[in-house]
Amino acid sequence: MNILIKLFSVVFILFFWSSCNNDIEFEINDNDLLFSKDTVYLDTVFTNIGSSTYNLKVYNNSNKNILIPEIKLSNGNDSFFRLNVDGIYNQNDDQGKRFENIELLANDSLYIFIETTINIDDINSDQNSFLYEDKIEFLNSNNTQNVNLISLVKDAIFIYPDRYLNDQQYIYETLEIDFDGDGISEETEIRGRYLNEEELEFTNEKPYVVYGYAAVGNGQELNIEKGSRIHFHNNSGLIVTSGGSIKANGEFSQNQGLENEIIFEGDRLEPFFENIPGQWGTIWLLDGSIENEFSFCTIKNASVGIYTTGGGNNIEYKLDLSNVQIYNSSNFGILSLSSSIDAENLVINKSGQASFAGTYGGKYRLNHCTISNFWNSGIRQFPSALFNNFYIDSENNEYVNDLFDVDISNSIIYGNQNIEFLIENLEETELDFKLFNTLIKFNDVNNYFENDPKYDFSNELYYQNLFNNLLPEFINPIQNDLRINQNSQVIGLGAPEFAAQTPFDILNMNRLENSDLGAYQHVIIED
């Protein structure tokens, strides 16, 4: 009985409150409202791509309940902005442009949420970017108050697969790909299309936005001009197929705007997305692709920065990397499957698995590279640098590649785990690897590798002038600043013969007179 009485009491109170609330009287507002900001800046968006949602808080600091007669956009139905007022989006079929009789209790507040999608072709401008402005108007009995809205919209070149409507569902174009270089293409479920001849020259005139995978076909070469900006939508990327190649050759930039750098990243331009991993897929270099080059490039926020397969037996390296930075990959910075890579001044950091994984054999030369991993978005399984000569398929079948050639010189392999260098082989297989004048982080606190001859760092067959567990003193590895300061323990440890192969660091500083390890010469940071 007591439970029933209590339940009835609660229901009665709720009913009473609801009834009273419906009887609240509101007066037409005759006082000024207060706002959390006088201007709402919506970050840069590409034409026809929706923005994130931004908010404005509106305060009623009076002691009376007010009715705001009208809230509207100055440009009316022609505005590119959309509003949601206190949970209301579509009032009177105005589609987020105009709202009437909005109630606001005494000493209370409400939220207005703002979005935009802008078609630059609908703006009278011949420029590649345009500052679009509007106002939110708040009408009361005495006057009108305004809050400014500003967004920068950029024009872009869009690359996307065809689609058609079938039974009220879009069907997208998919790729046929020769995965193993045998001349036979296979149907896939990968959304995308092959670039046509007119699209094989990416210029710096406008940014590129890629939906799905843009593929480079057999006999084609994709050239990317210095200063180009390539943006990828979710689950998108580049594929270079058998017989194709990519040449992404930027140049050193004199200022922080990286005017000559080529940048690959996602298509969300808001600051929140600046360092979010896994926003797009990968740059995929298939078996049979040839003469791929990247210089003065930044690849960031992918699932896998570069994924390369095959080419380990080639006389020439399949992939040449020079002055390349790869950051915030949700899985691997570089994932190589029996491929061949020649890299100098390569910097990789913050990868969800390994920063550099050379698997199933292959051929790798790394000179003056900084391979680090300060991943802080979860637990990772692998060290910063991983090399092996085998592959185990889903049915637990083992495959061994006898070709395994790894040369690392004047480099840094480091991170926030105890073991940041791992080299593996199946029993009875030989490995050909050597580390020269290189710093690794290797704290075998549990003695897992105590009896493994591959980790006998005194064995000159594998190691010459190895530096274990010195402090590189990165300036800010969490923010991907892998420069070393004046307190670094790797200053002057580079061997001159390897420095001569890469005489300038990634910031164009001469390293011939006194070579530091890694991609950067040290800088002096004032206290």
Which domains are present in the chain? 27-154 (2.60.40.10)
For residue range 359-372, list pLDDT tens digits in order: 999 999 999 999 99
Helices (H), 50-194: none
Distance CA 187, CA 314 (A): 27
Distance between CA 133 and CA 143 in Å, rounded? 22
Flag whether pLDDT at 183 surpasses 90.
Answer: no
pTM for the predicted model, two decimal places: 0.86
Residue 212 one-letter amino acid: G
Tell me what pLDDT residue 130 has: 78
Task: Tell me what pLDDT residue 139 has.
Answer: 92
Confidence of residue 243 (pLDDT cuts 50, 70, 90): very high
* Residue 440 φ then ψ, to 5°: -125, 155
Q: What does the pLDDT average to over 239-263? A: 93
**pLDDT confidence bin for 125, thresholds 50/70/90:** low
For 54-93, write each residue's pLDDT tens digit. Answer: 999 999 999 999 999 999 999 999 999 999 999 888 877 7
Helices (H), 2-107: 2-22
* 312 contact partners, CB below 8 Å, separation of at least 6: 318, 338, 339, 340, 361, 362, 363, 401, 403
What does the DSSP assignment read for 121-136?
Answer: GGSS--SSEEEEEEEE
DSSP letter for 18, please: H
Q: Among 19-23, 101-105, 315-319, 422-426, which stretch is predicted with the lowest mean pLDDT?
A: 19-23
- d(CA 361, CA 364) in angstroms, rounded, equals 9
Residue 10 pLDDT greater than 50, yes or no: no
CA separation for the pair 388, 373 (Å, rounded): 19
Q: What is the mean pLDDT of residues 100-104?
A: 93
Examine the pLDDT at 264 and tell me if it is beyond 50: yes
Q: What is the residue-wise DSSP string for 236-297? A: -EEEE-TT-EEEEE----SSTT-TT-EEEEES--SGGGTT-TTSEEEEEE-TT---EEEEEE
Q: What pLDDT was estimated at residue 126? A: 60
Instruction: Write down the pLDDT at residue 430.
Output: 79
Is pLDDT of 6 > 70? no
Of 14-28, 373-387, 463-477, the one with minimum mean pLDDT is 14-28
Instruction: State the Cα–Cα distance between residues 229 and 266, nearest whole angstrom.
Output: 10
Nearest-5° angle of CA 73, CA 79, CA 80?
125
pLDDT at position 13, please?
A: 43
What's the confidence (pLDDT) of residue 3? Answer: 46
DSSP-derived pairing of the beta strands 229-232 and 262-266: parallel
Q: Are 287 and 180 a contacting pair, CB within 8 Å?
A: yes
How far is Cα 390 from Cα 414, in angstroms, rounded to an integer? Answer: 24
- 3 state SS of 19: helix
Q: What is the pLDDT of residues 471-510, one digit of tens each?
A: 999 999 999 999 999 999 999 999 999 999 999 999 999 9
Listed range (130-134, 274-278, 424-428) with the worst mean pLDDT: 424-428
Model pLDDT, residue 178: 85
User: pLDDT-derived band of residue 22, with 50, 70 and 90 as boundaries?
Assistant: low
**pLDDT of the residue at 443:** 96
pLDDT top residue among 427 and 140 = 140
Contact 333, 369 (CB under 8 A): no
What distance in Å separates the CA atoms of residue 229 and residue 464, rounded to the nearest whole number?
A: 41
pLDDT per residue as tens digits for the range 143-172: 899 999 999 888 899 999 998 888 778 888
